[in-house]
Amino acid sequence: MSFMMDEIMEQPEALGRTLEAELNHARAFRAFAEKQDFRLIVLVARGTSDNAALFGRYLLEVTTGIPVSLCAPSVHTIYHARLRLRDTLVVGISQSGEGSDINIVLESARRQGAYTLGITNEARSGLARAVHEVFLARAGKQRSVAATKTYTTQLLLLYLLASALGPEITVRELSEIPKRAAAALKLASEVKELVERYRYMRQCVVVARGLNYANAFELALKLMETCYVVAERFSSADFLHGPIAMIERDFPVLAFMPPGRTFSGLRKLLERLKGLNAETLVITSEGVRLPAATRALRLPVDLPEIYTSIPYIIPGQIFAACLASIKGLDADKPRSLQMVTKTV
């Protein structure tokens, strides 16, 4: 078994540790944030952590009403722009905490009047030193270059941040997430059987919308970096504005399709893809009715859409790890990659 698969299986415990350790921190931050009255949140990250930030944008805007921006680091690192960041919360997200451009942005934002917060797996990192305070993931040591448990613990910390900034995310629901992650792992044997069908896949599309849109980016990234599959990712709405033209018979389309607000639109897309004879694989929940000829990985959990993002990515992670293995690739050591990537 690969380190990547080991770390996928460690996620329920990592999520439980993180929740237990940071729950009181989130409660304390709520009292602080109420006094600060933040008018804007800016998220800054790269790679897998940038996918977590994309999730954070949806989650925080939906649950707090505070506008959220995804930072373009080059605005700070190359163009040296001076932004007016008073009353702004700037959140840096990095597994290692050693991304040069992320830390430069945080230092710049702090000078320009922002309150800075870090989300990282490394308490002694440069990011931890650069910010006012840190929400620390307890994912444990990451041995595989392809991040899995650090991604889901970052999502959990963003849930905790949302619970501190608004009323919609509840501790009761968050306490169920480690159990839901464990339930998602039960799909591993089914995924291992299914993945043989995709042994020779060289390209695909991953689609989602709303709170699972970030998971489309994350699954596509895992397929690109561990399986060398050209994986394009789209909002299901954007997909209809042009990219659907490339779909032909047997073209693989993977979709995240939780019950909830985004379901109807995704169902209509699947029906259209069926008419184009595409090869569709959907990550969804038990009991959901899908168009005929659609393959599905069904999570054995019934939960509100807003809490689906962590359990829904886990079958995708398993799919990527298994596909790499069946292709004879080392998922732990993707070519041309290393654990920490430093850019400016």
Domain ranges of the chain: 3-175, 180-326
Mean pLDDT, residues 93-116: 95
Span 180-326 CATH architecture: 3-Layer(aba) Sandwich (3.40)
CATH number of this structure's domain 3-175: 3.40.50.10490
pLDDT for res 19: 98
pLDDT for res 341: 61
Averaged pLDDT of the chain: 94
pLDDT at 20 exceeding the cut of 60? yes
Closest by Cα among 134, 166, 137 to 154:
137
pLDDT at 31 exceeding the cut of 90? yes
Residue 1 — very low, low, confident or very high, per pLDDT cuts 50/70/90? confident
Express as a percent the part of the chain with pLDDT over 90: 90
pLDDT for res 283: 97
Cα separation, 94 vs 284, in Å, equals 29
pLDDT at 136 exceeding the cut of 80? yes
Same fold for the pair 3-175 and 180-326: yes
Spatial contact of 269 and 298, defined as CB atoms under 8 Å apart: no
271-276 LR contacts (CB < 8 Å, sep 24+): 272/244, 273/247, 276/244, 276/247, 276/248, 276/249, 276/251
Q: Which residues, 6+ apart, have CB-to-CB distance to 256 below 8 Å?
A: 206, 207, 208, 212, 215, 216, 219, 282, 283, 284, 312, 316
Q: Which tens digit of pLDDT belongs to each residue from 160-200?
A: 999 999 999 999 999 999 999 999 999 999 999 999 999 99
- Classify 302 in phi/psi space as left (phi over 0), alpha (psi -120 to 50) or beta: beta
pLDDT at 338 exceeding the cut of 60? no
